[in-house]
Amino acid sequence: MKIVRSRRGARLVEGRDVLSHVLARPGSSGGVFDVLAACVAGLAPGPRLAMLGFAGGGVVAPLRAMGFASPIEAVDLSREGEPVFRELSRDWAGIVRLTQAEASAWLRRRTRRYDAILEDLTVWSPQGAVKPSVSLEVLPELVHDRLTHAGIAVVNILPMPGTSWPALLARFAAPYAKTYVVLLPEYENRILVGGDHLLRVRHGAARIRTALRRIRSRQAGRIRLRTLSQRP
């Protein structure tokens, strides 16, 4: 992993992929991390947040700028990105507890339920960043089981070689009564929001865009949302 410094903070880079954009103060990163933060800030029914995959905590700056001040519990296999995060954010990040562990094992050990779980796990392949096998095989049901009644899952999905987008999205959506997908024209990522009591997609989209406008993120006018599934 390479750390690239800038006037606004630092980027953590692996090959062609940006793992985190760590800012020196709360605000917009301009990209995917803003949208992940907005899904949590706009849709979570309460303050209890778990973050699976941390890298350098790129979601924290937009999340705090959106007014989400509650403690964050995070897990990652590596603490490699934590020193730069602590260096740049210690004065404003609030309580961010990072545990070094495998995400599914950590989540199984938790006794509490969460209002939002953000799943942003990646591994590296010859094709670049992809989702690890645990994200497809174990975490969809486990994340669902660790949510509160009205809790939401927010999943940052990357292409998987040999798996079509419809099949990939269907796998992540399977545990939930309602899901929608956030499309980002500039990125190959797709963000899935799942829950058993989600708002209608137009209301969810309005809340996400309101959170993005609050930090003047350019993504407010660029993202598109569509309903992926809705069971009775």
Closest CA to 184 of 123, 225, 154: 225
- DSSP string spanning 7-57? TTEEEEEETTEEEEEEESSSS--SSHHHHHHHHHHHH-SSS-EEEE--TTT
Query: In Å, how far are 105, 135, 151, 168, 208 from 38, measured between CA atoms?
Result: 27, 22, 15, 23, 5
Q: pLDDT for 11-64, tens place per residue?
A: 888 777 778 889 999 999 999 999 999 999 999 999 999 999 999 999 999 999
Q: Which pTM value belongs to this model? A: 0.95
Q: Is residue 216 part of a domain?
A: yes
Is the pLDDT assigned to residue 230 strictly greater than 70? no
pLDDT of residue 232: 52
**Distances 88 to 57, 115, 136 between C-alpha atoms, Å:** 11, 27, 33
What CA–CA distances, in Å, run from 198 to 62, 88, 98, 173, 177?
Answer: 22, 35, 28, 13, 8
pLDDT at 125: 72
Kindly state the tokens that stand for 221. 């006018």
Structure tokens that stand for 48 in this block: 């209890």
Q: How far apart are CA 196 and CA 177, in angstroms?
A: 5
133 falls within a domain? yes
Q: How many separate domains does the chain show?
A: 1
- Domain around 42: 26-230
| CATH classification of the domain holding 219 | 3.40.50.150
Residue 11 lies in a domain: no
pLDDT at site 58: 94
* Residue 180 resides in a domain: yes
**90 band by pLDDT with thresholds 50, 70 and 90:** very high
**Side chain identity, residue 202:** R
Decide if 193 is inside a domain.
Answer: yes
Residue 123 lies in a domain: yes
* Residue 130 pLDDT class (50, 70, 90 cuts): confident
Closest by CA position to 131, among listed 171, 108, 159, 152: 159
pLDDT band at 207 (very low <50, low <70, confident <90, very high): very high
Position 19 in a domain: no
Query: How far is 191 from 173, CA to CA, in rounded Å?
Result: 11
Is 139 inside a domain boundary? yes
